[in-house]
Amino acid sequence: MVGVHLYLQDEHGRTLLGLRHPDSAYAGNQWHFLAGHCEREEAISCLVREAQEEAGLIIERGNVELVHLIHLVDSPSARPRIGLVFRARSWSGTPSILEPDRCVEWRWWDPKDLPAEVVPYTRQAIEGIVAGQLYSQLGWDER
């Protein structure tokens, strides 16, 4: 499974995260990237689509760059996943709640002062980006 994730920073260097709906099947009440799974499409097209569907943000393909890749497994029985984290150098629109059954709030966070309730691989990817690391992994040591 390939997931795409948006690493979006405002003019103050803060990162956009969404608070997952408490009843979400994955990571309820936790902060997470704007993200989605590729649905028989290439990764950047997926990212552009998800940004518009989830938050009303318009991103041009040429303004996107890969900034981190995370290879993770959530539990011993889970299928491994690859998460591609892309930075949009520019965009238009203001983050809006367009899928309230999945995300109840968008908020800008200082990457060095994230809340405790961040999805673990989201936190790891942000820390990797801040440190200039292109790759990280999570969950493999527990297997």
12-39: pLDDT as tens digits: 999 999 999 999 888 989 999 999 999 8
92-118: pLDDT as tens digits: 999 999 999 999 999 999 999 999 999
Domains and CATH numbers, the chain: 2-138 (3.90.79.10)
Per the CB < 8 A criterion, the answer to whether 112 and 120 are in contact is: no
Pairing of strands 64-72, 135-138: parallel
pLDDT of residue 143: 43
CA distance 80 to 119: 16
Classify residue 46 as left (phi > 0), alpha (psi -120 to 50) or beta: alpha
pLDDT of residue 74: 80
Judged by average pLDDT, the poorest of 15-24, 64-73, 111-120, 134-143 is 134-143
Residue 42 neighbours by CB under 8 Å, 6+ apart: none
Closest to 105 (Cα-Cα) out of 20, 9, 4, 1 = 20
Give the distance, in angstroms, between the CA of residue 134 and the centroid of all CA atoms in the same chain. 15
